[in-house]
Every structure is written in structure tokens, then in C-alpha cells.
Copies of this chain bind each other. A is one copy, B any other.
Amino acid sequence: MHRPYNFSAGPAAIPEEVLRQAAAEMLDWHGSGMGVMEMSHRGREFISIYEQAEADLRELLAVPPQFKILFMQGGGLAENAIVPLNLSRGGALDFVVTGGWSQKSQQEARKYASVRIAASGEASGFTTLPDPATWQLDPQAAYVHACTNETIHGVEFQRLPDLKALGSDAPLVIDFSSHVASRPVDWSRVGLAFAGAQKNLGPAGLTLVVVREDLLGHALPACPSAFDYKTVADNQSMYNTPPTYAIYIAGLVFQWLKRQTDGALAGIAAMEARNIAKAKLLYGFIDGSQLYVNKVAPDCRSRMNVPFFLRDESRNDAFLAGAKARGLLQLKGHKSVGGMRASIYNALPLAGVQALVDYMREFEQHHA
């Protein structure tokens, strides 16, 4: 008897093994007599949890030594302000707008800097990604911002743009909230990456920031100390009390990720292989069906967030009710686009996608 499959876009499914371990350790972590929630963040017990989590994440994502790993708070929406507060130096910024999230990011950044839209997918209804060769980059920009997986519109960069090859020396800032740890990252192309944890890493309330050291130390005077990357880095993410329990859960997810294998692959490479297989199964079924449609250009489709529509939208409620009855949860699309959305993050197994496809097929046949 398996648990229901949870297709939430975030907060999202957590691996069952992680939840079981957290429940077992809730009152007493490793014989300490305390639950993790009850530990001083300055005590050696929590410090060991923190250091292990950071080391595991660095290993999993192959983060080079010249990058700092910061555990912060406020999620992606807070980072939309925190990034320009730290990196803009009050100058010009280039934004690539590819959906709802980068749209919000560029809007918030206008509080702190002069924002240019270097490229936009809006004309296509965000069903395609603008080719980097067409981006209008400002040679003076303090950074270039891109959201490398758009949770709402379901588009994903299959490779990171090489800004240097495009003639820009600006650091690339990526919002990788909704596909972090689902595939490797080419850090040679990145200056800063941020992610809310609640999609692929752990509980809401934890934000991951990976930032190249040379970008630290230039925060605007208005930047709150608790969100000044240099202050955070200099204090090992403990300038203010960190979200200790969320870090602990993320650490358990990292250990779970390290245990994953797929043939000869392990860790993130194994996850990527699995995520490719999951996406192929779901998009393949949708494209072959008469009832369901995904409007995103095939080479821009997200492996993580699969929005789709019923060609007959009067059946939406029946579709969702039937899904829930089968233990297929949280499939309703984002209110701004409607329809359905299956978020198939790391913790959602291939069997869950297969169960969804089986249900979709049956629903289509039954309602034909």
C-alpha cells in the first residue's frame, strides 16, 4: 500500500524515507535527549547537522570551492529584492523574462536598480524560451537574471546560457527554485543561484543561495544585515537564527539523494536520468492523446512542471475528482493559467507518473 502521489508545485512531496526518519527522531535526535527543533543553533549537535547538510549539498551539486552556500529565509520572492540589494550596486540589470516568476523578479528589482528586459517569451504566451543569441545584453549590466525553470508556465532551460560567448562579462543570476537538484549545474556559467527549498529540497521557509565569493561585499546601504550575503557568509548562515528544522529536513533529503542510483549513475545524475524518463512518459502520453494538450515547444518543456489542459474544459472538475479518488493529489493548475499541472519533482517516482498516465488514459476513454 503506497501513499497517494502528490503532484503539488510546492510545498511539494518529500521522500517517504525522509518523513519516516524525521518522525522517528522527533523527540530524541541520536540520543541527545532533544528533538532537532529544540536544539540551540550554536550547540555542537545542530552544528554537526548543519555542516553535514552543507557538505552533502556541495558534493551533490558539485559546487566549486569559490562559491559560498548560504541557508537563508524568505523564499524566491524575498530573493527578488535581496539579490539586487546585494549585487546591483545601484546600476543597470538585464532580465530575461520567460514566465510568471522572472516577471515578478524584474518588477521587484526596479526598486533598487535600472532594469532592462534583455529578452522575453511573452509574445509566445511563454511557450518558448528566447534564444540566447537574440538577447539584447547591456555590456554595463551588474548582472543578468534568468529563471531557469518556470514553475507556472512549465518552460525550462535545457542548458545555461554562456554569457561570455554572447559578449557579456556580467555574472548570470539564476532562479533555480523549481529544478534545483533535478539535474547538474554548470557553475562555470553562474554567478549566483537561488532556490526556495519547498519544491525539490525540503520544507518551505528555507532558501538556498549559492554565490561566487567575488560578488560578496557590495550590498546597498539599505540592505538589512540579515540579508546581506557577506554577513550571512561570514557567520556560516547564523547571523540570525537559521530555520534549523528546515535545514535538518533538507539535510535528510540530501542524504536520500546521495543514496539514489540508476544503473551505473548515482546522486544527481541518477535523479536526472529518472526525471528524463518521467518527463518522457508524461509528455509522450499527452502528445499522443486526443483530450490533453501541453502548449510548450518541445525543446523548452520543463522536466519538473507539466502544465496541461483538457481540450474540453467542462470536464476539469470531473478529472480532478477522479484523480483524487485514485490517490493522485494536487493536480489543479496555477490560477493564472488554469487547467492542470503535474509537478513531478525528485520525490515523485516514475510509478507516480505511470499511475497518472494510466488514470488520464482511462479518463479519456471513459469520456470519449
Note all chain B residues with C-beta closer than 8 A to A13: 34, 38
Bound together, the chains give a CA A81 to CA B81 distance in angstroms of: 14
Q: Is A305 an interface residue (CB 8 A)?
A: no
Q: Is A315 an interface residue (CB 8 A)?
A: no
Is there contact, CB below 8 Å, between B33 and A203? no
Q: Is A196 an interface residue (CB 8 A)?
A: yes
> Which residues of A in the span 9-26 have a Cβ within 8 Å of any Cβ on B?
9-14, 16, 19-20, 22-24, 26
Binds B, one of A162-170, A242-250, A286-294: A242-250
Closest CB in chain B relative to A82 CB, distance in Å: 7
**A329: contacting residue among B12, B22, B33, B41, CB under 8 A:** B33
Interface majority SS (helix, strand, loop, mixed), chain A: loop
From A26, A204, A206, name the one whose CB has the most chain B CB atoms within 10 angstroms: A204
Interface residues in A, total, Cβ within 8 A: 67
Mask, A184-199, CB within 8 Å of B = 1, is: 0000000000001010
Closest CB in chain B relative to A356 CB, distance in Å: 15
Note all chain B residues with C-beta closer than 8 A to A73: 73-75, 78, 205, 243
Is there contact, CB below 8 Å, between A244 and B38? no
Residue of chain B at shortest CB distance from A328: B33
**A205: contacting residue among B10, B20, B221, B243, CB under 8 A:** B243
Bound together, the chains give a CA A198 to CA B46 distance in angstroms of: 14
Bound together, the chains give a CA A41 to CA B12 distance in angstroms of: 10
Contacts A19-B27, A196-B241 known; A37 to B203 CB distance under 8 Å?
Answer: yes
Mask, A217-258, CB within 8 Å of B = 1, is: 000111011110000000000011111111001000000000
Residue of chain B at shortest CB distance from A202: B37
Q: Is A339 an interface residue (CB 8 A)?
A: no
Contacts A34-B329, A244-B11 known; A224 to B81 CB distance under 8 Å?
Answer: yes
From A26, A43, A240, A241, name the one whose CB has the most chain B CB atoms within 10 angstroms: A241
Q: Is A8 an interface residue (CB 8 A)?
A: yes
Note all chain B residues with C-beta closer than 8 A to A133: none
Bound together, the chains give a CA A227 to CA B37 distance in angstroms of: 25
| Chain A contact residues, CB within 8 Å of chain B | 3-4, 6, 8-14, 16, 19-20, 22-24, 26-28, 33-35, 37-41, 43, 73-78, 80-82, 85, 108, 111-112, 196, 198, 202-206, 220-222, 224-227, 239-246, 249, 327, 329-330
Give the 5 A-B CB pairs with smallest separation, nearest first: A205-B243, A81-B224, A4-B33, A77-B240, A23-B26
Known contacts A11-B40, A75-B241, A204-B241; 13 additional CB pairs below 8 A are A3-B33, A6-B33, A8-B43, A37-B203, A40-B330, A74-B227, A76-B240, A77-B241, A78-B227, A80-B224, A112-B222, A204-B242, A204-B243
